[in-house]
């Protein structure tokens, strides 16, 4: 095999359709666009969601809900996750390194989900009322 003998596979290449090039081509005159109307014009076509002038669906439905952009900086950790971590001193950096909270997290809160058997000292981390009592019951503390 030589470079000057390489050819594409049979049927892989075909000529581009040339519209508007006379009667003999089969795509002359209207060039396959039919007669008149918006779709026959150059550059004429509707935008996505356009309903012919009728009030579009996205405007007929009521506006609803709100998602705060500050939520991405908040994170929560369960008691069972702290149990599996098995560290006596826990802060936000420890949780980030363990992969329990995202790297963007600034505010972390412990929630009462699961059980805790080991004493854990939390620094710079909040806790719900139920989680706080569960942590203090096993000899842990919040700072």
- Per-residue pLDDT at 1 exceeds 90: no
Domain ranges of the chain: 69-142
Whether residue 81 has pLDDT greater than 90 = yes
Residue-wise DSSP of 43-74: T--PPTT--TTSPPHHHHSPP-----GGGGGE
pLDDT at 2: 95
Kindly report whether the global pTM for this prediction surpasses the value 0.75. Answer: no
**Mean pLDDT over each residue of the chain, to the nearest integer:** 93
Predicted local distance difference test score (pLDDT) of residue 10: 95
Burial 66-79, CB ≥16 within 10 A → b, else e: eeeeeeeeebbbbb
Neighbours of 104 (CB within 10 A): 10
Nearest Cα residue to 85 out of 15, 140, 20: 140
CB 108 within 8 A of CB 76: yes
The predicted pLDDT at position 14 comes to 93
pLDDT, one tens digit per residue, over 5-51 is 999 999 999 999 999 999 999 999 999 999 999 899 999 888 899 99
Best CATH choice for the domain 69-142 from the list 3.30.70.3000, 3.100.10.10, 3.40.50.11810, 3.30.160.110: 3.100.10.10
């Amino acid at each position: 095999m030589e470079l000057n003998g390489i050819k594409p596979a049979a049927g892989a290449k075909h000529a581009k359709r040339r519209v508007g090039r006379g009667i003999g081509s089969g795509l002359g005159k209207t060039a396959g666009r039919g007669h008149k109307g918006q779709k026959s014009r150059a550059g004429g076509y509707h935008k996505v969601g356009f309903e012919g002038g009728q009030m579009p669906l996205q405007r007929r439905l009521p506006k609803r809900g709100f998602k705060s952009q500050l939520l991405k900086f908040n994170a929560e950790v369960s008691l069972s996750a702290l149990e599996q971590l098995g560290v006596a001193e826990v802060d936000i950096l420890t949780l980030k390194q363990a992969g329990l909270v995202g790297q963007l997290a600034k505010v972390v809160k412990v929630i009462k989900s699961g059980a805790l058997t080991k004493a854990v000292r939390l620094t710079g981390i909040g806790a719900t009322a139920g989680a706080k009592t569960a942590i203090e019951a096993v000899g842990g503390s919040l700072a």
